Chain A
Amino acid sequence: MFNNAIYDETLLDGADLFVCAIGYEARSYYLFDRIKDRVECSNILLFVMDDYGKYEDTYKKVEEVKANNYTVDVVKYQDGHYVTSRILNAISNRILPTSNLSVHIDYSSMPRGWYARLPILLQGILREQDKVYFWYSEGNYPSRYEEYPTAGIESINHFSGKSSMKIRKRTHIIGIGYDIVRTQGITSVLDPECIVACEAHDPTRQDIFDNVVEANEQILAQAQIRVFLDLSDFVFMISKLREITNELVMEADVVLVPDGPKPLIFAMSLIPDLIDRKGITCLHVVRNKDQFKPVNVVPSGKVIGFLTTKG
C-alpha cells in the first residue's frame, strides 16, 4: 500500500492530477511553481484558504494564479469534508479503463483533517495500476526552538478508531516537535497515562534533532518509550508505529496524538485504520486561532514523499 518516493519532476506529466493548497507559507506553492508547466491547467486542483487576502505574498500569488487562468477553489480551514470529497471526486472522474492514473498531492500546507484520511478513502477508488503520491516540501527551522512560536490548542477531537469498552490501561503515543508549549498543553488536557514520545526528523539535520530533544526533555524523561524516526522514510514510520501499537494494544488501549512535522502527523493518523482493531484511537489537536501567529515558511528545496497504491 505504501512505498517511499523520491521527488523528481519527470514523475509528472500533463495528464496527471496535481492537488495543492495555497496558504500563507511560501512553501505552499513551491511545488506548484515547479510543476505548473508540466501539468495541464485543467489537471491542477488548487485550493486557497479564505484568509489569503491577509497575507501580502499569498495574495499576490493567488492573483497571479488567477490571472494565468488556473481555477482556484477558495475554502475555509474547517472545510475538510468538502476538500476531501473534491479530491476523491476529481480522482474518480479521471479513472479511465484505458490508462493508469497518477496523482500528486502536495500536503505541505494542508490542515491535517484534509489529507490524513485520504490514503484509506482512496482504497475504495484506486485500481492496482493507479498511483497517488503525497509530497511534502520541507521548510527551514529556526536555529533555536525557543524562537519557535506556539500554535496553542483550541480543542482536541476524535479523528479515527474506537476505544475499547473494558476499563483498561491507556498508552498515549504523542508526536513531539518544536512546539513544546503545545505538547505541554496536550498533556495537561489529556492527562496522558503511559507515554510513548515519538519524534521524526531529517537525519541530515542533527541540529534539529538536538533541539527537539532538548526542548522536550521533560516529556522524554516521563516517556516509557522514546521513538525517533526518519522523516523521509514514510514506510518505516508506518511500519514502526504499527509494530509499537500492535504490541502495546495487547495490554492497553492506544491513543495516538499526532503532532510535530506533517509526515509524522500523517503516519500516526493512519494507524487506527490500518490496524483496524478496537482499542486504538487517534485524536487531532486543533490549533488556537487567537494564539496562532502565522509564520511564512520558506521551502528548503527538499521534497519528501511516499506513494500509495491499492493494497
Chain B
Amino acid sequence: MKRKADSILHYDGQNPFSDSQARNFSDSKIIGEFYPTSCFWSLFNDQHEILLGTRGSGKTFLLKMMRRSMLKRIHNPEAEELVQKKEFVALYVPMHLEFVSELNDLEFREDRQNTVFCFFFNCLLGESLLSELMDMLKEEPDELKRIKLELELSRKIDLMWFGEKAVRDCASTFDELSEKLRQLYYNFDLIKDSLEEIPPTFRRQLGASLISVKTLITNALGFREEPTWIICVDEAEFLSESLQKCINSVFRADSNRIALKVATLHYYHKTLDTVDPNTVVSMGNDFNYRIVDMKYDSTDFTKLTDALCAHRLKTRLTAVDIDVQTLEDFLGKIGNDELLDYYRAEMGEKEGTIEAIDAKIMLELSPERKNGATNYSDTRKPVFDRLRPVFYVREMLRRANTGHSKPGWYAGATMVRKISQGNPRLYIQIMNSLFEKAKNAKLTPKAQHETILKFAGDFCKATQALETYGPLAYSHLDKIGSYLKEQVHGEYLVPAGFDFKLGYTKGFQVQENIGWLQKAIAYSRLVVAEETLINGINKDTKYTLSNAYAAQYWIPMRSDTVKTVSKMGNRLNTYTVTTEKDQMSFF
C-alpha cells in the first residue's frame, strides 16, 4: 500500500498533530474531531456515574459533547433524536487545577472550605446553565418572543439566585445575569469575607444554582416534561478528599431529576464519605463506575484513530493535498500489517516462510522443550503459534543490537494503535512525532520504528516525574521490565509475555506499594482488569505492562504465563551523576 506520509516530505507548515488537548479546543474543533464511541450514547441516562479513565482517554470530549448546544451540531440520527426529544440537558463544569487548588491550599476548616467550594461550583454551574440557555433561546425563530422569554427568565433566575426585591434591579438579559454572577464570584475574598455574604442559593448545596431554577426554565421553554439535567463534572482528580465528599453528598441526595457525570482518573475517587459523617455512598446504589478506556484493537479506537488522522490532515495541512481515509493510508502497510509481515520484510522472503521460522524456533528451544515439541502429533498449534511472537522479538532485538541498521519492527498502523494503548491523547502524541519525522525523511518502517521506539523510551522515562510516586513507579517498572526482558531474551526461547504478578514479602508489602501502582495505572504505564479498577488492587492482582513499556524493553505484546516478579524491595535506583563537580539545580 502506498504510503501517503511521503507527500509531506520537506513540508514546513505546522504539525497538524501538535495539539492533543481537548479542553483547549473551540467547540467547532471538538465537533470536527468528535467520533461518537459506543460509550457516548449510553451516558444519556439518569444515573450518577463516575467516569474512570486514564489521562487522555477522551473523558473531556465525551462530557463536552453531551451539551445540547454541541449535540445539535452533530449530523447523526442519535444526536438528532436526543435534541428533538429534549429528555436530557447537560451542563459542563470543569474542576480546573487553578480553580480548585486555590481552595485546597488555603488552610480552612473543612466546613468553610466545603461552603466556599459549593459557592464556586454553583457559580460555574450557573454560568454553564446561562450559556446553554442562550443557545436554547436561539431555537425560537420569533425575535420578539425570544427577547420576552430572555427577559422573563433572566428576572426569575435573578430573583431565585440573588433575591432581588425590585424588578428594576433584576437582570433583563442573560448577559447581565452572567455579569452579576461574575461579580459575585470575583469579588468574594476567600480569606476575609464572611460566608453570610454569599447568597443562600449558592451556599446551600452543590447544584443549588440549577435546582432552584430548573422547574421555571422547563416551564418557560415549553418542555413537555422536565428533562434530566446532567451535570458533567470534569477533571475531578484535582479535588481533595474533602471536596470529593461534597460531590458524594449529591449522589446521596434526592436526585431531583439531576444526574452527575464525574470524570476522574483511576483511583482518584478516594472516598465514599459524604459531608455528613454518618452517611456514606455505595457503588451500585448511589452511583456507578464506568470505565471509558478503549482497547487498542476495539472498533471504536480503530475508527477514532482513522477519523482523527483523516480529519487533521484534511483540515490542517496547508498547501498539500493528501487524501487519507485511514491511518494505514498515511503510514503505509506491509502485507496485512501483522507481525509476520514486518518480520518478513526485515528478514527476506526466504527466511520469512513459516517453515524457516519454525525451524529456527526449534533450534532455540531448550533440550527439554525440543523433546516435548517433537512428540506432539501436530506441533503447529500448541508450540509454534505460541512461540512465534516471542521469536520475532528476539530476532529483531538481535538485529537492532548488531549495529549496522535498525529493524523496521515497531512500525505500522496496528503498532501505533498498540503503543497508544487505546488512548486518544497518546495516539495524537505519537502521530505528532511521526509527522515531524515525515517532514524530514521518508516514513519507512525503519523510520517509524525509530520514532516509535524513541516515543516509548521518552514515555518510560517520563514516569519518573509523575506526581509523588513517580520515582518509585519508574524504579519498579524498570525492574519489572528488565526482569521480563530477561525471560524473553534468555539463552532459550520460552513462552513469554507482558503479564506479571508481584511477589510480596515482609519487605515489600501490598499496602506500601498501592500508591505507585495506582499512579502507574492512571497514567497508562500498567493495565489491569476492570474489576481491579473498580474494586482495588490486592496481592493477587495481575498486571500487564503497557505496550510502550513492552516496546522499550523488547517484550512481546501478548499475554502468556503470568510471571511473578519477586525481590522487588523498596529501594530506589539512585542516579549516578557522572559529570564534573560543578552543576546547577533548578527549583
| B118 CB to nearest A CB, Å | 15
Q: Can you spell out 12 A-B residue pairs with CB atoms less than 8 angstroms apart?
A: A139-B582, A142-B583, A148-B577, A152-B470, A158-B101, A165-B123, A165-B186, A191-B21, A191-B23, A194-B19, A221-B432, A295-B583
Is B181 a contact partner of A153 (Cβ separation < 8 A)? no
Is B19 a contact partner of A144 (Cβ separation < 8 A)? no
Cα–Cα distance between A178 and B587 once the two chains are bound (Å):
11
B433 partner residues in chain A, CB cutoff 8 A: 218
Is B587 a contact partner of A111 (Cβ separation < 8 A)? yes
> Known contacts A152-B471, A163-B96, A255-B98: does B585 contact A297 (CB below 8 Å)?
yes
Whether B508 is near chain A, meaning CB under 8 Å from some CB there, is: no
Chain A interface mostly helix, strand, loop or mixed? Answer: loop
Whether A14 is near chain B, meaning CB under 8 Å from some CB there, is: no
Whether B216 is near chain A, meaning CB under 8 Å from some CB there, is: no
B579 partner residues in chain A, CB cutoff 8 A: 142-144, 147
- What residues make up the interface of A, taking CB atoms closer than 8 Å to B? 25, 111-112, 138-144, 147-158, 161-163, 165-167, 169-171, 177-179, 181-186, 188-194, 218, 221-224, 252-253, 255, 259-262, 265, 278, 281, 283, 287-288, 290-291, 293-298, 300
Is B471 a contact partner of A291 (Cβ separation < 8 A)? yes
| B150 CB to nearest A CB, Å | 18
A253 partner residues in chain B, CB cutoff 8 A: 98
Q: Mark B574-587, 1 if CB is under 8 A from A, else 0.
A: 11011111111111
> Known contacts A185-B464, A194-B24, A288-B471: does B585 contact A165 (CB below 8 Å)?
no
Is A184 a contact partner of B462 (Cβ separation < 8 A)? yes
Is B587 a contact partner of A297 (Cβ separation < 8 A)? no
Cα–Cα distance between A91 and B578 once the two chains are bound (Å):
43
Is B586 a contact partner of A157 (Cβ separation < 8 A)? no
Count B interface residues, CB 8 Å. 61
Partner of B102, one of A148, A162, A188, A194: A162
A157 partner residues in chain B, CB cutoff 8 A: 101, 104-105
Is B465 a contact partner of A188 (Cβ separation < 8 A)? yes
Cα–Cα distance between A115 and B470 once the two chains are bound (Å):
28
- What residues make up the interface of B, taking CB atoms closer than 8 Å to A? 15, 18-21, 23-26, 55-56, 92, 94, 96-99, 101-102, 104-105, 123-124, 127-128, 131, 178, 181-182, 185-186, 425, 432-433, 436, 458, 461-462, 464-468, 470-472, 523, 572, 574-575, 577-587
Partner of B586, one of A138, A177, A224: A177
Return the 5 tightest CB-CB contacts between A and B, nearest first: A185-B465, A193-B24, A140-B582, A139-B584, A184-B462
Is B577 a contact partner of A295 (Cβ separation < 8 A)? yes
Cα–Cα distance between A158 and B99 once the two chains are bound (Å):
8
A162 partner residues in chain B, CB cutoff 8 A: 102, 186
Is A153 a contact partner of B185 (Cβ separation < 8 A)? no
Is B466 a contact partner of A153 (Cβ separation < 8 A)? yes
> Known contacts A142-B583, A165-B182, A167-B131: does B471 contact A290 (CB below 8 Å)?
yes
Cα–Cα distance between A183 and B124 once the two chains are bound (Å):
30
